[in-house]
Structure 1
Amino acid sequence: MIDYLKKRVKSDSETQESMKVPLSKPAHMNIPFISDKIQKRIEEKIGTEEFNATSKQKNTIKKVHLFDILVERENYTYIELGEVVFDILKEEEKCYFLSERSSSKIHYDIHKKEVYYILEDEIYKDGFLVKERVMERVIPHFFPMQKSNHPYLILPKDEYITLKLYLEDTKEKGQELFSEGQKSLRFSFYNLVESAMHKGASDIHIKYSMNFYHVYFRISGALVNQREYLMDKDEGHDFIHACKVTATKDTKGEFSADEHHLPQDARIVFNSLGVDTRIAITPEGTLSGKQVLVARLLIKKQIDKKTFSFSEWGYGDDFIEVLEDVKNISGKLIYATGKVGSGKSTLLSHLLATLDDDISIITIEDPIEYILNKKNATQHEIFMPQDKTRQITYVDYLKKIKRSDFDVLYIAETRKDKGLMESVVEGAKAGGTIYSTIHIPSCFDTHDTLVQVFGADKKAIASLLYLSVNQVLVKKLCPNCKKEDKDHVNKKNLEERASSLDYIYKNPLDDFLKEDFKTYIADNNGCDICRKKSFGNKKEWGYDGRIPVYEYLRIDPSFATWIYKENCDRYDIELKACTEGKGINKLQTFIRLLKEGKIDATLRQIREI
């Protein structure tokens, strides 16, 4: 059959005329990989801009079928593509040639009336043609294709012949099938970071699934698939290795780019972008057998009290008043608590920026996230040298700066390092105000955590802990397109989840459910403003960034005495604080923001608090 096709091509002047592709250029740069009708049908559905982006990506990920790209970019499923192909094949009279990656794993239906040819895709080795096979009277059955990872390559007859001749020509000349450009990465980690910063992302995730590496940006708390950075498994492996090699320049300690079996932390600094990326690499021991890379973007920004407003961020007047009181205390502990990415460091750093200029501030951070635009602020960053014996830890810094005559000391994170908690308590007893963070879900659990987890003295913590804050970030409604909740969706969701909310003090929720308050929900179609800010993520349409839902506990001497003498848990502390005006819980803040029309009560929003 191949010989017949080759002879026909050589004797058919019309077919020869239709070969517009010079044989000296790579096939992937010149040959359409689907018929014109299939292309038109797909383009009509997903739009010209998205189709062009998909085609461009196909040309760069050269060994991957266009159908794979369409599926991975979430434009189609394999079943939907199969239906498109079958519909068009029924209309066509000429033959089609279909190629797939592993014919032994694909099922076929025999169709006697029409003839299609399958060119096996695994015909190259080191860029050269090494084998060929043609099957007659075969039509593909697409339904087993779902998640099979063995896509088809559909070629009209003349394009198949052109490809066949090109492969023969390549083999004879001893040239490599693909260009040198394929061997290099299409984009760098720098490009990813730059794009993530432009989109306001806090983290970059590179994950492996089903023969592909997917890139996600965490934007406004949600992971958003960046389809333009889709990589096949080989390119993804090379990309992560290249990141690790780059990281060796900024990462100290025992980090190795060639280590594939142990989890590693790394660091890459881009001074031109003003960002420090902290990277966690999961080893090949994952279920997929591939590595996973997660990078936190720490954008160093200069801040002072003139560049922001706690009120504009969504904090209530009562809490702002508490923050003002903090400026006038000494010899106390101030803790911001919450999960990763909840804005703990952001809150404390900006609180430091509001302190008076005559207050001496020292910080110990890993890394420095915000640059305090204050002449009396000295910021230290944890240093990890190549030689572990020269490593400087939080405890080492604390010991060295005891006599530094500081008024305020900011320790970016309270850790279980030996001697750290003792040094913190000692510093507060000496008259300094200590700011720090821990990862717990409630501010009312701060006392027990410091005692039971970090080994602090119960009596000392009871007397020294002055303020504990906890917060989460939830989606803020777009003020331009939010709409009234006439169907009471917010109330229904809260009623459904009321019993599962982990709070002892629920009076504001009970009042809200009994009365008829006017609330708002997001318009899923969004508006020009919020759609532009979403960078293509439809889940963010109708929203405008995030807003803190916070709780706090302010401890006075009588409250401290009660904590020390009573065997109380977090729920006891929460109930007493909320009923006596010593604090509020996140549920109270959530209800307030809901009444103010700043948030909605979707099930996901409720789950966050």
Structure 2
Amino acid sequence: IFKIKVSAKLRTDEHFAPQDGRIRFIFDGKKLDTRVSILPITRGEKVVMRLLTSEGRSFKLEDLGLKDNELEVVQKAYSKPYGMILAVGPTGSGKTTTLYSILKILNSSEVNITTVEDPVEYDLPGVNHIQINTKANLTFATGLRSILRQDPDIIMVGEIRDAETARIATNAALTGHLVLSTLHTNDAVTAIPRLMDMGIEGFLVASTVNLVVAQRLARKLCDECKKQFTLTKEDMEELKKIRPDIAAQLKGGEKIFHEVGCTVCDGSGFKGRLGLYEVFEIDESIRILISEGTSSDELYKQARKNGLILIVEDGVKKLVAGVTSISELIRVTALKE
């Protein structure tokens, strides 16, 4: 732990407070960026290291797992010169990767792009990145307020965590800026009442939010060792007990695959990851409901009427396509409370 602290430029004499840092190095010709989190526990200190590679910068939007019609909806949203695009989901669900993929498309010498993040995940050439520093009073809110004085065209806010950040981001989207950000909600529709719970009036949310993308990351089956089997009646009965929402979308008799493990995938049965998505376009029918202060249930009904595909439904499609396994689908999705 001492060596890790030194490499991450953390205090080696601090053992009772959490610390966060980063270690950058080159391994096997690849630039690696390791995020270090150290937490004091009763038996000493616990270290978690998150590995990021420069390969993440080369991600293309079309490689993330979005369907063609969903890509069109996303393209329509980021092609507008103002408004807000939100990526929502739990930590580690690929939200930042989705937003960076959009930034890469929009990045050019003609546009002024600035991000404010904690931490800065990737360094995009030509993009101004701001790292949050609470010790220097550089928060999302103060950083965002300063960015607006820099005549930006596009702003990415790492996360909308509080009412002040939400208010500034909404006003920025309303006054001619394209704002990209993330929220921690389980599904796309819930992002709307979440913003309103932060004190943003319904008419402002309706006027600014153009798109909400909810997502999860699922591991892809290894093509070298995945094994096909047929869903039997017994399998379906068991699935109905533990995940009736998944079982309802299957008839039984489908040929799907499960993980095995080989040398190619280091025995895990999986190689690579892909996104499971819920793409919620804010069209005129949704804007009217938001402005009227309609309940989440009514928003959800209208979104479904408009053709919203849920994360679990997208997951079942990818399950049947042989891309992921049923155990993985169960792991990364959760029933609605």
TM-score tier after normalising by the smaller chain length: 0.7 to 0.9
SS at match of 2:330: helix
Q: TM-score, normalised by structure 1?
A: 0.50
| Higher RCO structure (Cα 8 Å, ≥6 apart) | 2
SS at match of 2:303: helix
Task: Map 1:126-165; keep pairs closer than 5 Å.
Answer: none
Structure 2: distance between partners of 1:311 and 1:278: 27
Deviation, 1:356, is: 6.0
Q: Deviations over 1:320-359 (max 9, x none)?
A: 1112112321321111111111111011101111126343
Number of the residue aligned with 1:293:
47
Number of the residue aligned with 2:251:
514
SS at match of 1:519: strand
Q: Deviations over 1:506-554 (max 9, x none)?
A: 8xx63x43364332223x2x34xxx2332xxx3x12x222221111211
1:396 aligns with 2:142: yes
Number of the residue aligned with 2:102:
351
SS at match of 1:401: helix
Number of the residue aligned with 2:64:
313
Structure 2: distance between partners of 1:300 and 1:455: 38
Gap regions ≥5 residues in structure 2: none
Task: Map 1:265-344; keep pairs closer than 5 Å.
Answer: 265-272=19-26, 274-285=31-42, 289-300=43-54, 303=57, 307-344=58-95
Work out which of the residue numbers 481, 489, 493 in structure 1 matches 2:225: 481
Structure 1: distance between partners of 2:71 and 2:155: 21
Number of the residue aligned with 2:4:
243
Contact 1:474–1:548 (CA under 8 A) maintained in structure 2: yes
Contact 1:494–1:601 (CA under 8 A) maintained in structure 2: no
1:590 aligns with 2:319: no
Contact 1:484–1:519 (CA under 8 A) maintained in structure 2: yes
SS at match of 2:150: coil
Number of the residue aligned with 1:601:
326
Number of the residue aligned with 2:112:
360
SS at match of 1:513: coil
Change beyond 3 A, Cα 1:281–1:557: same
Structure 2: distance between partners of 1:271 and 1:607: 33
Q: Which amino acid aligns with 1:433?
A: L
Work out which of the residue numbers 151, 164, 168 in structure 2 matches 1:423: 168
Structure 2: distance between partners of 1:281 and 1:356: 35
RMSD: 2.6
Change beyond 3 A, Cα 1:266–1:326: same
Contact 2:95–2:182 (CA under 8 A) maintained in structure 1: yes
Work out which of the residue numbers 275, 286, 295 in structure 2 matches 1:559: 286
Task: Map 1:89-238; keep pairs closer than 5 Å.
Answer: none
Change beyond 3 A, Cα 1:487–1:593: closer
Count of aligned positions: 328
Structure with more of its chain in strand, by fraction: 2
Q: Which amino acid aligns with 2:81?
A: S
SS at match of 2:149: coil
Change beyond 3 A, Cα 1:302–1:372: farther
Deviation, 1:383, is: 4.2
Q: Taking every aligned residue pair, what percent have the same amino acid on both sides? A: 28
Q: Which amino acid aligns with 2:142?
A: D
Structure 2: distance between partners of 1:261 and 1:426: 40
Q: Which amino acid aligns with 2:254?
A: F
Number of the residue aligned with 1:460:
204
SS at match of 1:532: coil
Contact 1:335–1:468 (CA under 8 A) maintained in structure 2: yes
Contact 2:196–2:202 (CA under 8 A) maintained in structure 1: yes
SS at match of 2:21: strand
Q: Deviations over 1:550-603 (max 9, x none)?
A: 11211012211112324312x44333212222x22112201211221212212x
Q: Which amino acid aligns with 2:240?
A: E
Number of the residue aligned with 1:40:
none
Structure 1: distance between partners of 2:122 and 2:235: 37
Q: Which amino acid aligns with 1:314?
A: G
Structure 2: distance between partners of 1:310 and 1:490: 35
Contact 1:490–1:600 (CA under 8 A) maintained in structure 2: no
Work out which of the residue numbers 258, 261, 267 in structure 1 matches 2:13: 258
Contact 1:468–1:553 (CA under 8 A) maintained in structure 2: yes
Q: TM-score, normalised by structure 2?
A: 0.86
Number of the residue aligned with 1:580:
306
Contact 1:395–1:420 (CA under 8 A) maintained in structure 2: yes
Q: Which amino acid aligns with 1:584?
A: I
Q: Which amino acid aligns with 2:264?
A: K
Q: Which amino acid aligns with 1:461?
A: V
Q: Deviations over 1:91-124 (max 9, x none)?
A: xxxxxxxxxxxxxxxxxxxxxxxxxxxxxxxxxx
